[in-house]
Chains A and B, each alone.
Chain A
Amino acid sequence: MRLLIGTHIANAYQSLTANRMRTVLTMLGVTIGVASVTAILALMDGAVNLVGSQINQLDGNIAVIRSGAHKAKDNFSLSQTQTQYSTTTLTEDDLLAIQDTKHLAAVAPLMNLRTSLRAYGETLDGTNHSVVATTPDLIKIGHIEIRDGQFIDSVSDANTAVVGPQLAIDLFGTEQAIGKTLRIRDQAFIVIGVLKRTNNPVNYNDVDFDRSVLVSLESGKAFTQNVAQIQQINLKADTKEHLPAVVASVKKTIKENHQGENDFSVLSGQEIAEPTSALFRGLSLTSAIVAGISLIVGGVGIMNIMLVNVAERTREIGIRKAVGASNNDIVWQFLIESLAISLGGGLAGFILGYIIALGASAILPFFPAFSWPIALTAFLISVIIGVTFGMYPAIRAAQKDPIESLRHAQ
């Protein structure tokens, strides 16, 4: 069967450029729809990659232990929020028990306290800042670096703290905070180090280190009646190859500690990022679907304009049939025209979507990611819209009676 694709494309080009304004306005409908979907998906990928890439940067020999059983991968829910309010099952005992695991290079607990901070006249109420009690090993496995001074260590005074740069500014008005004193519940701490800015409020530690005070686990326990409430324990194996072995033996140790209950999870690799990623993905897909509704509006616009096109060119259809065009030829001619509109609009929307996403990233903590699946999605959406909404006008065109059409006024 001859499809005459080239001819139809040339024809569509001619017809669409003849009514430039109309074509552009019709395309705009698709452009807006594809742009919003593209922007949302690009930002979603950016957010998902954010946590994932941190894991990758850590040479793949990191694992974390979290309270509660591990959620199934595809079962995204908002229960992450719930775990914030449940009491942790991880104890200091667990921490001590796994210290001696073979091939374990570093281990650090994270005990996150939200309480108020004071320094001189300034008070921070703890809504945007956190106090993290941990051990000196965190510097090796927390994806953080020291900018000034030193990290907390086992030999320094218990009442010392390391602060994040933003917290230093909020509290002291300067990042030069070393030697200054801050108060946590009237307990004075001397700042011995300032962290390098991470600009990473979303990370696998669930802590924004830029806005945190790090103190030793001992000091932290003092605020909770000497019981460590550990949300997460970070582990590091000496090599990537030993990580599975470390994870297995840690699992075994803690399970014994917990009388055989699986009320904790040891995550490694991309699993660490999963709860955060799943949350982002779920939210983004929901918004992408909502944005997709606007595509239907774009599609209706295409159908509308194609029906006008067919009506205007009734005579031409008659002529084409008289000189030998079959119904299929006519269907293809108009279908390719509507495809040209939707693909043109889709391409513009794809580009516009990335421009929007880049613009949005100025106020978001991550960059949009470029990925082929997004490009493919935009392309497929365009094709589906073009075919779905172009089919009816095209079939109507093909079914026109040639004699009636030839009689039709120009």
Chain B
Amino acid sequence: MVSNKNTPVIELRNLTKRYGLGASEHYALNGVDLKIKKGEFVAIMGPSGCGKTTLLNILGLLDRSNDGEYLLDGKNVERLSSHRHAIIRSKHIGIIFQNFNLVPRLNVIENVALPLTYKGVSHTKRLEKASEILKSFHLSEREYYMPWQLSGGQTQRVAIARALVNEPSLILADEPTGNLDSKASHIIMRELSDLHKRGNTIIMVTHNPDLTSYASRVITMLDGHIATDTAMRKPKKDSSIKRPLHTAKEEK
């Protein structure tokens, strides 16, 4: 999926997600329009239940919208089969979770190599690649640890390594620091910030306003709508806290 510079990595048109039926029906997403360009680091903020996690799940092709269009690299993916979705997830999307989600039975290197399995990479190649990426996260000496032998920060770094191993065009992070103390949080954020600087597109959902300082763009959501959309100045210092209050201008 090579796209020209002007094609957004993600384009959402009037994306809608409903839950429930009849009287209990409510909208998790109510007509979301959004464009995200290659190389952006987008932080999505908002109160619980505003639909940000639902949005991320749909972006990650783990969920489907009821209405609207989702263009990934200029291609409409919303109505593809779940088999095609799995292939797209495998090739183009890396997901980082709040609760890390490493497979407890597998050791660190096998966890990192897992996405490559479904890409059809051979066993040896998988481990080589995983080892390489763990080295760049300074986790080489932890390769054969089991997930429960790692600290929270280390676990999340392993999870980030796993999200990156298949060289995705899009990295999705759902509250990546939600289960970490502030010190570990900043290490993780520096890693993500680093990835951003190397040209990766990152979309991060967070509760923590401190973390928006790492982002290049901050979106706040409310009741299934995008409330604000702010481009941030970069680079940021770790201490700076910025809360976007004004409505963003439309991205072009």
Contacts and interface: CB of A to CB of B under 8 A. Distances in A.
Interface in B49-78: 57, 60, 62-63
B118 interface: yes
Interface residues of B, number: 28
B103 interface: yes
A7 interface: yes
B101 A7 contact: no
Contact of A323 (B57, B104, B114, B123): B114
Interface in A1-41: 2, 4, 6-7, 14-15, 18
A323 B101 CA distance: 11
Contacts of B114: 319-320, 323
Most buried by A among B86, B123, B162: B86
Contacts of A15: 105
Interface stretch (B90-98, B215-223, B227-235): B90-98
B120 interface: yes
A316 interface: yes
B162 A323 contact: yes
Given A324-B119, A329-B118, A406 B101 contact: yes
Contacts of A325: 86, 90, 117-118
A321 interface: yes
B118 A323 contact: yes
Nearest to A6: B123
Interface string B104-134: 1110000000110111100100000000000
Contacts of B157: none
A324 B118 contact: yes
Nearest to A10: B123
Contact of B117 (A7, A322, A403): A7
B241 interface: no
A325 B114 CA distance: 9
Contacts of A324: 86-87, 89-91, 115, 118-119, 166
A337 B87 CA distance: 23
A231 to B, nearest CB: 70
Interface size class of A (residues with CB under 8 A): 20 to 34
Nearest to A316: B103
A319 B103 contact: yes
Nearest to B118: A324
A327 interface: yes
Interface string A309-322: 00000011011111
B214 to A, nearest CB: 23
Interface in A230-255: none
| Residue from B60, B63, B114, B119 whose CB has the most chain A CB atoms within 10 Å | B114
Interface of B: 57, 60, 62-63, 82-83, 86-87, 89-91, 95, 97, 101-106, 114-115, 117-120, 123, 162, 166
Interface of A: 2, 4, 6-7, 14-15, 18, 315-316, 318-329, 402-403, 406, 410
21 contacts: A7-B117, A7-B123, A18-B105, A316-B103, A316-B104, A318-B101, A319-B102, A320-B103, A320-B118, A321-B89, A323-B118, A323-B162, A324-B91, A324-B119, A325-B86, A325-B90, A326-B82, A326-B83, A327-B86, A406-B62, A410-B104
